[in-house]
């Protein structure tokens, strides 16, 4: 599945992933392949990206996530690398 992490300033991440954990307002949740379509607001917290090459994480400052047809789009207000 593909993941894009976008801020108002730039594209922070774009690529193939095996899973993503995001900081939902009511707690973190993991998105796996063939996840049901969802739109959710995000709290400040860590986005954990897992690929075949390992794990990478970013700290986001709020936003929203949309999952549809194995495409994940995170629209974050800001990102700390």
Dump pLDDT digits (tens) for 17-48: 999 999 999 999 999 999 999 999 999 999 99
Distances (CA, A) of 13 to 8, 10, 26, 40: 13, 9, 24, 19
Amino acid 19: pLDDT: 97
Determine the Cα–Cα distance for residues 13 and 19; give it in Å rounded to an integer: 14
Asked if residue 6 lies in contact with residue 78, where contact means CB atoms within 8 angstroms, the answer is: no
Question: Where are the chain's structural domains?
Answer: 2-80
Domain 2-80 has CATH 2.60.15.10: yes
Buried b (16+ CB within 10 A) or exposed e, 60-71: beebebebeeee
Percent of the chain surpassing pLDDT 90: 96
For the question of whether the overall pTM of this predicted structure is more than 0.75, the answer is yes
Q: Is the pLDDT of residue 81 over 80?
A: no
| Encoded tokens for 30 | 């993991």
Amino acid 63: pLDDT: 97
């Amino acid at each position: 599945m593909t993941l894009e992490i976008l801020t108002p300033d730039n594209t922070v991440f774009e690529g193939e992933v095996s899973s993503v954990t995001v900081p939902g307002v009511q707690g973190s949740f993991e998105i796996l392949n063939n996840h049901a379509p969802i739109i959710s607001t995000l709290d400040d917290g860590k986005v954990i990206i897992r690929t075949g090459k390992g794990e990478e994480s970013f700290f986001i400052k709020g936003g929203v996530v949309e999952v549809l047809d194995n495409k994940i789009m995170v629209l974050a207000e800001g990102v700390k690398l």
